[in-house]
């Protein structure tokens, strides 16, 4: 149904996917922090999130709604520097806060839809 698949909901889902991927990359960096040969992977996916937000499918009719593309994200990139555990733990905490924020917004959006459909709060 279109009501459950709006642009806003798609954006929130993409954001959660980006934050999940970022969490995995940071966790991998933390797990290998004491390995001298390991090089950390890049964990800043904000550019990719902005690209996913900006993607639009081609409109063939002016009456069509704007739609978003699937938002594929490139693979992780290794950097030349070593793992800075303090930096990675800070990034992990920040990423968790962002993930929680977006998941709360998405949850409230679905609760609002439920209230609109059923006419009562749960």
Residue 89 pLDDT: 94
Residue 24 pLDDT: 94
Per-residue burial over 50-78, b = 16 or more CB atoms within 10 Å of its CB, e = otherwise? ebbeeeeeeeeeeeeeeebeebebeebee
pTM: 0.69
C-beta neighbour count of 45 within 10 angstroms: 21
pLDDT tens sequence across 4-52: 778 889 889 989 999 999 999 999 999 998 888 888 887 676 776 677 6
Residue 74 pLDDT: 46
């Amino acid at each position: 149904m279109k009501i459950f698949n709006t642009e806003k909901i798609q954006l929130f889902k993409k954001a959660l996917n980006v934050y999940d991927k970022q969490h995995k990359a940071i966790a991998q960096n933390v797990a290998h922090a004491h390995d001298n040969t390991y090089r950390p992977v890049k964990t800043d996916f904000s550019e990719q999130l902005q690209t996913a937000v900006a993607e639009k499918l081609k409109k063939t009719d002016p009456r069509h709604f704007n739609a978003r593309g699937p938002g594929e994200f490139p693979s992780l990139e290794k950097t030349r520097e070593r793992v800075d555990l303090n930096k990675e733990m800070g990034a992990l905490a920040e990423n968790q806060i962002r993930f929680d924020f977006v998941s709360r917004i998405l949850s409230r959006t679905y609760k609002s839809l439920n209230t609109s459909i059923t006419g009562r709060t749960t």
